[in-house]
Structure 1
Amino acid sequence: MWRRPSATFCRWLESSKKKAESCWEVKVDRRSWSNVLKAGAPWPMEKWRALGSGSTSSAGSRSLPGVSRITLSPEQAASARLEVATERTRLEQAALLLETCARCLTEAREAVLLDVQQELLDLVLKVAMQVIHDEVAQRPELITFQVEKALARVKEDSMMTVRVHPSMLDILRQASPGVLESLGPTARVHFEPDSSIAPGGCMVETSQQIVDARIATQLARIGTALKQGPSP
């Protein structure tokens, strides 16, 4: 009764097959050498080297069999060197141009950002002005706070003239007792209407000093400080 060969037998058979193929390659290789070598004939060492590693030129450098050596004339060599130098110069100029373009783009970007910042700042100041005007229109008593701050900046107790918008004059006169309490006993304040001053702001004048507390002036100072940035 036939049985399937065991795994051990199969491995041995495969190993034997590989050994036989290896021996066959060695035999074929030896046959190829037998066509070159003749029994009893001398074989110089130079021929062995040439056969094993290719031919040797007169200058002593080896060359592969079947590969010819390329020789350039002096004119061709000079032309090749000139072409290489020209290509190197062209690449250096291209790199310099790219660097210049990158620097210009960076500067343009910074200029655009600066312009946008200035426009945004101007817009914010305009909005702030409108918001303050609306707030003063709804709460005119805020003028009292502005006048008190302006008077606090005056460094003398002599006669002071406070100029405000005509619509703010009655409010200040009613609040004048409270405003004068924060000043010295010798201070004298005179309120005058001035239509050139927007509601909510004021100007204080003495014989030696002028305090500009107009809303537009204060916002302009804020805008200038923001545009200049923090001091180093």
Structure 2
Amino acid sequence: NKAYDEAYQIGLQDGFKSAVDQRLKDINQAIDDFQVLVNSIHTIKTDLIYQNEAHIVSTIFRIAEKIAYGHIAENPDFVLPVIRQSIELAQADDEVTVLVSPEQIDFIENLKKLSGRDFDFLKNIRLEPSDKVMSGGCIVETNYGVIDAQVQTRVEKIWTELSQALPKIKKIAG
């Protein structure tokens, strides 16, 4: 009887130890599985941010573009610094023609009459209206070539530079 009780206790302890070991093994496996899940969620989050970064930058650029065009429409005198900078790139003793939008040529002529501002930078320049040029920009033609300072051209150049720097979106198998 005593041997039976001892054998029973040993069996009970072995069974308990075996059950605890199995349960610990199951818990450790569950923790490992959970860690894999957490890591994959982090990877998915990082991939989503990376893949949407190009879209986010594109959206911000488009918003800035709309704001810039709207700002030029509200403040037509913004074209003067653009014209001045473009002309400064051309040499003063050269034949220089500046193409501007028809609305801008009217604005500049009225501004010359009404403002009394310094327009010496235009003295050797021929201003011509052109339907090719959008309001807010200009095209400067010289003996040496053409300087395209249209807002659209500058915005496109900025976008080209930005888009080359954007991360490439990887294809997701699906």
Residues 1:68 and 2:4 aligned together? no
| Deviation per residue, 1:197-222 (Å, 9 max, x gap) | 12232110123222112122334445
CA distance in 2: counterparts of 1:145 and 1:109, whole angstroms: 39
2:55 to 115, 135, 142: 115
1:47-62 alignment to 2 at 5 Å? none
Does 1:130 pair with 2:70?
Answer: yes
Aligned counterparts, 1:156-167, within 5 A: 157-167=93-103
- Give the helix-richer structure, 1 or 2: 2
Cα distance per residue 1:64-86 (max 9 Å; x no partner)? x9x8212899xx9xx98xx6898
TM-score of the superposed pair, with normalisation by structure 2: 0.61
Q: Aligned pairs, how many? A: 150
Identify the residue that residue 179 of structure 1 maps to in structure 2.
121
Question: Which residue in 2 is equivalent to 1:101?
Answer: 41
CA RMSD of aligned residues (A): 4.1
Equivalent position SS for 1:211: strand
List runs of 5+ in structure 1 lacking aligned partners: 1-56, 58-64, 182-187
Query: 1 or 2 for the larger relative contact order (CA 8 Å, sep ≥6)?
Result: 2
**How many angstroms apart in 1 are the aligned matches of 2:68 and 2:88?**
24
1:100 counterpart letter in structure 2: S
Q: Distance in 2 between matches of 1:107 and 1:213?
A: 38
Quickly say closer, same or farther: Cα 1:209–1:156, change in 2 above 3 A: farther
CA contact (8 A) 1:154 1:209 kept: no
Is 1:211 aligned with 2:152? Answer: no
Q: Which consecutive unaligned segments of at least 5 residues does structure 2 have?
A: 113-117, 167-174
Matched, 1:193 2:134: no
- The sequence identity of aligned pairs, in percent, is 19
Between the aligned partners of 2:136 and 2:30, the Cα distance in structure 1 is: 68
Tell me if the contact between 1:144 and 1:179 (Cα under 8 Å) persists in the aligned partners: no
Residues 190 and 89 of structure 1, relative CA distance in 2, 3 Å threshold? same
* Contact 1:165-1:196 within 8 A present in 2 as well: yes
Change (3 A) 1:145 1:100: closer
